[in-house]
Structure 1
Amino acid sequence: MARAEFLKPILDRGWLCGAVIECYLADLRLKLKDRRICPAWRANSIVENRPKRQRWKKRNLDATDIAEMSSCYERCELEYFGTTKAYFSVNIAKCHWVTVVMHSDKKEFQVLDSLWRLEQSKEFVEKLREEILKDVEFANNEISTKKYPDVSKWEIKRYPIPMQNDTNSCGLFLLACMEHWDGDELTAEFSQETINKNRNMTAAKIIMSESNLLEKAKKDVLDIVAKARA
């Protein structure tokens, strides 16, 4: 849910945390059906925590076993291969957001970075690919009737996007890529200038989105707008 303290960095030109990014992505999921937008924490969670993937072909499964099996299956079925394009929000070194798209038709991991060279994020994306491969192998061998593709040799490729000229806008550039990158090209133009110009609108979109259940916040915004127009 979109709280005021989460949105303040958008307006103050600060660095966006994962919570506010997830608020925006929740609304995009309702609108964009050609892509699977994974939770904002998914990439870092599986890379840093490395989920258990034991062999489950045994007689006595406990609740933890079943939950881990289910989580692995859901990541493969609903996120990685729910469509031909899975979008990941990647937080490098807890200071920089990068968009990564796993494109099944092209068999590649697309890196959309508004600040750094590929060399600075490639190691993380390689680890992400490795963890996705572990999920795929586990699902293929243990719990799925279908066979998911082997991603181990998929190329990690950087695609050019507009660049930021400050140190704090990476989260907003990520949101723009999530919304406007279709797997081949950008479907809308944006720049540091338009990113800054639209900060108020971005905050308003989060507050007024269908996925935001804080109805009082929506009413407060509408009241402010009405007073401004009076």
Structure 2
Amino acid sequence: MECLFQPSAYLGDEVIDCYINLIKAQKHLKCRSGGRVHIENAFQFNFLKRDGDLEIKTEELYPIKDMTHICSAERRVLLYLDHDMVFIPINIRETHWYLAVIHARNMEIQVLDSLGTSQDRKDLTDSIKGLQRQIDMISQRKELKDHRWPDLQVASWPLREIDMGYAKQTDSSSCGLFLLNYIEYWTGDELSDIFTQDNMSHFRKKMAAILLSSDLNKRRGCLLYKNEKEVDSGSPSDVEICWVSSDPSRRHGRPE
């Protein structure tokens, strides 16, 4: 959580995944104008990118005697195929975050990057190759039918860089914050809410309160720090209760 209290800190996987879990828990965000949405966790990108290394044979990645990994890949492929859009957070060597959207209805890979459209997309193309390898592997094991994708050759779909207009960063540390806003508000065609760099410093601070107060926080109400040597029970007058809105439209401190 420390990165949320440091204005120039880079957001790590743990914070990104925690907030993604909160977004996924909001049922109204699962269906958007672009169709049904599946939001992937940040760690999954590493597995897709690994499988995109074509120098490693599929039999080495998924040995026949290790059915656990094969079944895991099968569940993931079937889950993706049951949705019209798959949101995948991309982490470039722990220095930059951006969002890739597999848009099945449009048969394209959309790129939402807060730094613009000039970035190297090798990490993304490797991930898509990895997904294609998983799809091909599973299709050899079973017939893939009754799914929502019009074409399973996802590696041949074009990359489409989305001009984010006003929703771009002007500093060197807000990419993770923009990523989470893209995930929350991208409909498949446009952003359903307005946010700029000016909103990010406030959003960074509010994220800490949102995560701590969430019903999904299993340690909600527990002490964050404990001093073994000195315990001060304090006084009720030392405690201030702060109310945190659960309304997503007010998370950036903007009125409806």
TM range (shorter): 0.7 to 0.9
One-letter amino acid matched to 1:180: Y
1:163 aligned counterpart, secondary structure: coil
Structure 1: how far apart are the matches of 2:173 and 2:42?
17
Aligned length: 212
The structural deviation recorded for 1:94 is 1.9
The residue aligned with 1:3 is none
Deviation at 1:210, TM superposition (A): 2.9
The answer as to whether partners of 2:116 and 2:168 remain within 8 angstroms in 1 is no
Q: 1:155 to 1:194 in 2, by over 3 A?
A: same
What's the counterpart of residue 33 of structure 1? 30
- Give the distance between the partners of 1:73 and 1:88, measured in 2 at CA: 18
When Rg is computed on C-alpha atoms for both structures, the one with the higher figure is 2
1:27 is paired with a residue whose SS is helix
Percent identical residues: 26
Match of 1:179 in 2: 184
Measure the CA separation in 2 of the matches of 1:28 and 1:217: 23
Find out whether 1:198 has 2:203 as its counterpart: yes
TM-score, normalised by the number of residues in structure 2: 0.75
| Structure 1 unaligned spans of 5+ | 1-6
The one-letter amino acid paired with 1:73 is E
Q: In structure 1, what is the equivalent of residue 76 of structure 2?
A: 75
1:44-87 deviations in Å (ceiling 9; x for gaps): 232136597339xx9xx64x2x1121111111112x22310100
Contact 1:73 1:143 in 2 (8 A): no
Q: Higher helix fraction: Structure 1 or Structure 2? A: 1
TM-score when normalising by structure 1: 0.83
Aligned residue identity for 1:171 = G
RMSD: 2.7
CA distance in 2, matches of 1:184, 1:224: 45
Higher relative contact order, chain-length normalized (CA < 8 Å, sep 6+)? 1
1:38-77 matches, cutoff 5 A: 38-48=40-50, 53-54=58-59, 62=65, 64=66, 66-77=67-78
1:158 equivalent in alignment to 2:161: yes
Runs of 4+ in structure 1 off by over 6 angstroms are none
